[in-house]
Structure 1
Amino acid sequence: MTEEQSSVFTASHGVMTAEVGVISGELELRTTCDDDGVLALAITYQGADEWYTLPGEDYRLHDPRDHEVVHRILVTVLARP
């Protein structure tokens, strides 16, 4: 299993979470991908201990080697104004 965690980015328009609804501000994204390509997405406020999941399920990469690229794309999309 691989894990990618972003540096802090600003989500001025917010990011929807499954647990608490929309969160915004200085956030960090963590993605994990297992050997079968199953992808898990979690987000937190900068420096917080509690992580929230992004809505949806059954995220799967065709090739687990794409994990790092997909992580960077997600951060870019979530941080856009």
Structure 2
Amino acid sequence: MEVKTSTFTATHGVMTDEVGVISGELELRTTCSDDGRLTLAIRYVGAEEWYTLPGKNYRLHDPRDHEVVHRMLVAVLKRP
């Protein structure tokens, strides 16, 4: 299992399942299992509670793509 985290600033917000839209300094965590199952979580930088991004059952065809997918998610979530 591989975990990647990145911090970024979301000026217009990111939708979560639990609390709706959050914005500001955020941290994205993606976790990829050996079989390609991908989980996405987000929180305010320095907070303890993680929130779930909408959607379920994400799966990568090849777990080696985890780094690229993580970077793409950060780029999309932080765009103005």
Aligned length: 80
Please tell me whether residue 77 in structure 1 is matched to residue 76 in structure 2: yes
What one-letter code is carried by the residue in structure 2 that aligns with 1:5? T
- Show structure 1 runs of 5+ residues with no match: none
Please tell me whether residue 59 in structure 1 is matched to residue 45 in structure 2: no
**1:25-46, CA deviations, whole angstroms, 9 ceiling, x for partnerless residues?**
0000000000110000000001
Identical residues among aligned pairs (%): 77
Alpha-carbon distance, 1:76 to partner: 0.5
- Show structure 2 runs of 5+ residues with no match: none
In structure 2, distance between residues paired with 1:19 and 1:74: 19
For the aligned residue pairs, the C-alpha RMSD in angstroms reads 0.5
Partner of 1:19: 18
SS in 1 for 2:28: strand
**1:38-65, CA deviations, whole angstroms, 9 ceiling, x for partnerless residues?**
0000000011110001010010000000
**Runs ≥4 residues deviating over 2 A:** none
